[in-house]
Chains A and B, each alone.
Chain A
Amino acid sequence: AQSVSQHNHHVILSEAASLELGCNYSYGGTVNLFWYVQYPGQHLQLLLKYFSGDPLVKGIKGFEAEFIKSKFSFNLRKPSVQWSDTAEYFCAVNGYNNNDMRFGAGTRLTVKP
């Protein structure tokens, strides 16, 4: 069965610091990869996604993620975080022929002003 691991439960950064959140997945076939974000008091929403092609994908608000197939990883990055990036971030994966999504446990990011 597919699974997703997010290694950091809570990350605390100061504004302007760089961010990298780890995500590793376990799945035997071709996958689609996603990062979702949940800002305080808001719904989960899509941040970015990878289906195929360039393994470096860019999303909203300056976030990017890199798919490294050999490492089964899809880490999320942002060069300079802002206080408004404080949120919970979820990595997710599904397979080509499998229409259900599996999520990681989430990483809570706190950015100090």
Chain B
Amino acid sequence: GAGVSQSPSNKVTEKGKDVELRCDPISGHTALYWYRQSLGQGLEFLIYFQGNSAPDKSGLPSDRFSAERTGGSVSTLTIQRTQQEDSAVYLCASSTPAERGRYEQYFGPGTRLTVT
């Protein structure tokens, strides 16, 4: 079946512009996660959606970052007034609900964002 898809695969933008990154999770996966992967920094948690519950936004680095998930499926991560330090690979993952956190995340290919 289809995996997690993300678009665009690459995005180059000028400093100060807004960007939108899209994630399409695996059908039926109610949990969706955004991470940022910077060179040599590993994966940094950004935001987590679970069904209709309020999202966990505790990882968003500033108020320039926001995300929404429409209809419990597709998610969009928006970065306003981009800065050069926002350059990174943005990864999306999805999973099915599981008790006691016993779930596997399925990752998309990522969007490589370059801010010039």
**Chain A residues within CB distance 8 Å of chain B:** 6, 9, 30, 32, 34, 36, 43-46, 49, 51, 90, 94-106
| Chain A residue nearest to B53 in the complex (CB) | A99
> Is residue B90 contacting chain A, with contact meaning CB distance below 8 A?
no
A45 in contact with B41 given A99-B31, A101-B33 (CB within 8 Å)? no
User: What is the size category of the interface that chain B forms with chain A?
Assistant: 20 to 34
Residues A96 and B100 in contact, CB atoms below 8 Å apart: yes
| Chain B residue nearest to A107 in the complex (CB) | B42
> Is residue B113 contacting chain A, with contact meaning CB distance below 8 A?
no
Residues B40 and A49 in contact, CB atoms below 8 Å apart: no
Residues B107 and A43 in contact, CB atoms below 8 Å apart: yes
Tell me the bound Cα distance from A30 to B100 in angstroms: 9
Min CB–CB distance A102 → chain B (angstroms): 6
Residues A90 and B42 in contact, CB atoms below 8 Å apart: yes
> Is residue B80 contacting chain A, with contact meaning CB distance below 8 A?
no
Chain B residue numbers with a CB within 8 Å of A102 are 45
Residues B40 and A99 in contact, CB atoms below 8 Å apart: no
Chain B residue numbers with a CB within 8 Å of A49 are 104
